[in-house]
Amino acid sequence: MTSPKDLLQQWIGERAGAERPWLENQLAILAAPAATERDLHLFLGFAPRRLGKADLALSPEALAAAEAARPGWQPGDWSIDGAARVLGLLTFSGDRPFAETFKDLRRTSDAAEMIALYRGLPLYPEPESLHFEVGEGLRSNLKPVFEAIAHNNPYPRDHFDEHRWNHMILKALFIGAALGPITGLQDRANPELARILVQYARERWAAGRPVMEELWPLVGPFAETPEIRTQLDRARAEGRVIEEFVS
48 touches another protein (CB under 8 A): yes
Please report how close the Cβ of residue 151 comes to another protein at its closest, in angstroms: 11
Given the rule CB under 8 A, which of 24-32, 38-46, 126-134, 232-240 is the region that contacts another protein?
38-46
Asked if 241 is part of the footprint of another protein (rule: CB under 8 A), the reply reads no
CA 178 to chain centre: 13
Does residue 167 bind another protein (CB under 8 A)? no
Q: How many residues bind another protein (CB under 8 A)?
A: 25
> What does the chain come to in residues?
247
- Identify residue 121 by its one-letter amino acid code: L
Q: Does 113 bind another protein (CB under 8 A)?
A: yes
Residue 54 binds another protein, judged by CB under 8 A: yes
- Indicate which single residue of 5, 143, 157, 195 sits in contact with another protein (rule: CB under 8 A): 143
**CB neighbour list of residue 49: distance below 8 Å, 6 or more residues apart:** none
Span near another protein by CB under 8 A; candidates 28-36, 102-110, 131-139, 186-194:
102-110
Is position 109 an interface residue for another protein (rule: CB under 8 A)? yes
* Binding flag, residue 42, another protein (CB under 8 A): yes
Determine the Cα–Cα distance for residues 173 and 193; give it in Å rounded to an integer.
12
Distances (CA, A) of 215 to 18, 169, 181, 212: 48, 9, 13, 6
Q: What angle do CA 116, 119, 121 make, to 5 degrees?
A: 120
Instruction: State yes or no: residue 74 binds another protein (CB under 8 A).
Output: no
Q: Residue 141 burial by CB count (10 A; 0-12/13-18/19+): exposed, middle or buried?
A: exposed
Q: Give the footprint of another protein on this chain (CB under 8 A).
A: 38, 41-42, 45-46, 48-49, 53-55, 77, 79, 107-115, 141-144
